[in-house]
Amino acid sequence: MTSRNIVSSEWLEAHLDAPDVVVLDASLYLPTDPRDPVAEYREAHIPGALFFDIDEVADTESDLPHMLPGPVEFSSMVRKMGIGDGQTIVIYDGAGLYSAARAWWMFKTMGAEHVHVLDGGLPKWKAENRPLESGVETRPERHFTARFNNDGVRSLDDVRSAIEEGHQIADARSLARFNAEAPEPRPGVRGGHMPGAVSVHYCSLLNDGLSYKPNAEIEAIFRDAGIDPDKPIITTCGTGVTAAILALALDEIGARHVAVYDGSWTEWGGRTDTPVVS
């Protein structure tokens, strides 16, 4: 392993047959991206990997995209997939380091202890000519006990209060979207940002979109943006996906009071009663 949250491709290949290791392909793409993550998984995935559908393991009663389900629902969904207590969960995606961080955050918020993201994701794995399989993988049902961490997630009302109290908010969207200079990818969502939020584009933390930069550089990026890792932080983005990239990076550098605003800008910018700065 390379860190508390990241595993190398060398480590994973050496542990593919370990009975306590479960690998998840958590690929997800923007609605404007024509890639089909399920089709790509069926065509080629890391041996033994299950497909973890972030759009399916979600709150089905919400009209917002892939909102975190409740702990009972989450337990039921992942139990049926064959993910259980005590397992080491390794997550990757087809972009490199994108939606895997969201799945990591979901499992951590549900109390899973041994959750990791594959360094470089599937692109790095393929570039190293490591083994791939096609088709669909299945595993026997396992018991999963969710221990929901309320401190890891924030709601709309939580963010309203945080803004009034001057808490730190880091926005993972591009600076152009943050400043309403580029359109939002989802219709009916205003441009701009929350009062007091600062821009920390998730791409600034990555090398070629595949791996995190060194911890010292990551900490410098946050501090230069005005974020103190030693104080509570809320991360946000478009739909709570790249906000998790910030949350994972902050965990890597030792920040321990980090929460993701699950509804993120799709919820905030999609309403008419929320303050917006552009």
pLDDT > 80? residue 2 = no
pLDDT digits (tens, 9 = 90+) for 27-64: 999 878 889 999 999 999 999 999 999 999 999 899 99
Q: Which of 147, 77, 80, 82 is nearest to 113 (CA)?
A: 147
pLDDT of residue 31: 78
Specify the DSSP element, H or E, that contains 40: helix 37-43
Mean pLDDT of the 261-269 span: 98
Residue 3 φ/ψ, nearest 5 degrees: -165, -175
In this prediction, residues 73-89 reach a mean pLDDT of 97
Strands (E), 151-236: 153-154, 168-171, 198-199, 206-207, 211-212, 233-236
- List the one residue out of 109, 266, 99 whose CA is nearest residue 194: 266
8 A C-beta contact, residue 259 and residue 105: no
pLDDT at 1: 60
237 is catalytic: yes
Q: Where are the beta strands (DSSP E) in the chain?
A: 6-7, 21-25, 50-51, 88-92, 115-118, 153-154, 168-171, 198-199, 206-207, 211-212, 233-236, 258-261
**DSSP 3-state assignment of 21?**
strand
- State mean pLDDT over 172-188: 94
Calculate the alpha carbon distances from 240 to 59, 134, 210 in Å: 13, 30, 19
Percent of the chain past pLDDT 90, that is, above it, reads: 94
pLDDT bracket for residue 185 (50, 70, 90): confident
pLDDT for the residue 93: 98
Asked whether the predicted pLDDT for residue 179 surpasses 80, the reply is yes
Distance CA 142, CA 233 (A): 34
**Of 54, 67, 62, 65, whose CA–CA distance to 24 is shortest?**
54
* Residue-wise pLDDT tens digits, 120-156: 999 999 999 999 999 999 999 999 999 999 999 999 9
pLDDT at 247: 98
Domains of the chain by range and CATH? 6-148 (3.40.250.10), 151-268 (3.40.250.10)
Determine which one of 237, 241, 247, 250 is catalytic: 237
Supply the pLDDT for residue 121.
98
Task: Say what percent of the chain tops pLDDT 70.
Answer: 99
Is-contact 167 232, C-beta < 8 A? yes
Residues 220-245 have pLDDT tens digits of: 999 999 999 999 999 999 999 999 99
Can you say whether the dihedral through the CA atoms of 61, 62, 67, 71 is positive or negative? Answer: negative
Q: Is the pLDDT of residue 186 over 90?
A: no
Q: Concatenated DSSP letters for 136-154?
A: --------------GGGEE
Return mean pLDDT, the chain: 96
**Vertex 268 angle, CA 96 and 55, to 5°:** 40
pTM over cut 0.95: yes
C-alpha dihedral (54, 246, 205, 228), degrees to nearest 10: 180
Instruction: Tell me the DSSP string of 73-94.
Output: HHHHHHHHHT--TTPEEEEE-S
Q: Which residues contact 213 (CB under 8 A, 6 or more apart)?
A: 205, 206, 207, 221
